[in-house]
Structure 1
Amino acid sequence: MIGKLNRPVDFERVLGRQSRARSAHFALHHLSADPAPSAWHAARLRAAQAELSTGDAQPAHSVVEHVPPRAPEGCWVGAVVPKRHAKRSVTRALLKRQIRAAFAERPGMPPGMWVVRLRSPFDRQKFPSAASDALRAAVRAELAQLLDRALKPQQPKPEAVA
């Protein structure tokens, strides 16, 4: 299952971590956790509980027990494509679609929240059209390399001999 990150709190949590891999134009961030529950879901749950009450309204008490974190279920993907690096909305939409498609093509991605951030613009002289096939192919190839690099096991850095 691939979900879409939309809440700013989730983006802040993931982008607060160091990038897992970088390429010429993108940075990839990962956090092995589920997205925060939405306020809409919590309000709906409270409304459903209130409707089930048969007596007078009782004051709600919050549970104070510690719930251990559970392993994340599924892959949640977010894309950060700022206007300063992709001026035209057509280009921003193309980049976001290609990011989601790159994750959809890789069923073996570790679960958790993933954010791909555009960190530098594509050359407008090389790709004059905002939604050209050449730009689409270049983005897809770079994203494939980025995901391959992120999935490679991290090799420990050699210690400096003093």
Structure 2
Amino acid sequence: MQRLKTRPQFQAVLAGSIIAKTTHFALHRNMLETQAVPIRPGKPAAARALFSVAEMWLGAMVPKRWAKRAATRNAIKRQIYTVSADFEQQFPHAAFVVRLRRGFPRTEFISASSEQLKLSVRLEVQALMLAGATAP
């Protein structure tokens, strides 16, 4: 599994369709584009393919708007990448983004990276991946 790293990669996947949703997350998918795309507009010499390898590509978006603390954002991303590695064989060769679309209430999850928060995120991401694996 490859990880999305550049802004154009994330933008290309987010332009695709949403294939699954849960209470807090959305799973975006876009089929792989192997054509060369300029990394910086106006500099054609720096053109390269967005997705150079035909594998599953994954990115995690956890905006500050929904998770204010960096420790919380990092814990959520770690759970997303860990759970998605378990589902790698069930997904086609495409690019995916797991996007946090609603915050976890700070009244329920007081600690920035508690075990309760990690378990809740893990269970919800597993449900998201199961729904995404069965999507057409």
Structure 2 Cα separation of the partners of residues 139 and 3 of structure 1:
21
User: Over aligned residue pairs, what C-alpha RMSD do you find?
Assistant: 2.4
AA in 2 matched with 1:7 = T
Structure 2 Cα separation of the partners of residues 108 and 15 of structure 1:
21
CA contact (8 A) 1:79 1:96 kept: yes
Q: How many residues align?
A: 126
Structure 1 Cα separation of the partners of residues 55 and 92 of structure 2:
8
Matches within 5 A, 1:25-36: 25-34=24-33
Structure 1 Cα separation of the partners of residues 112 and 35 of structure 2:
34
TM-score (norm 1): 0.70
SS of aligned partner of 2:2: strand
Structure 2 Cα separation of the partners of residues 149 and 12 of structure 1:
23
CA contact (8 A) 2:20 2:131 kept: yes
Matches within 5 A, 1:132-151: 132-151=114-133
Post-superposition Cα deviations, 1:70-122, rounded to whole Å, max 9, x if no partner, equal xx711111111110100000000011111111111113221111001100000
CA contact (8 A) 1:79 1:115 kept: yes
Larger radius of gyration: 1
Matches within 5 A, 1:21-100: 21-34=20-33, 73-100=54-81
SS of aligned partner of 2:127: helix
Change (3 A) 1:91 1:36: farther
Q: Percent identity?
A: 37
CA contact (8 A) 1:34 1:113 kept: no
Q: Which aligned runs of 4 or more in structure 1 are off by greater than 3 angstroms? A: 34-39
TM-score (norm 2): 0.83
CA contact (8 A) 2:26 2:99 kept: yes
SS of aligned partner of 1:20: strand
The reply to whether residue 118 of structure 1 matches residue 117 of structure 2 is: no
Structure 1 Cα separation of the partners of residues 33 and 95 of structure 2:
7
Q: Which residue of 2 aligns with 1:68?
A: none
CA contact (8 A) 2:15 2:30 kept: no
Q: Which residue of 2 aligns with 1:11?
A: 10
Structure 1 Cα separation of the partners of residues 19 and 76 of structure 2:
20
Structure 1 Cα separation of the partners of residues 6 and 132 of structure 2:
24
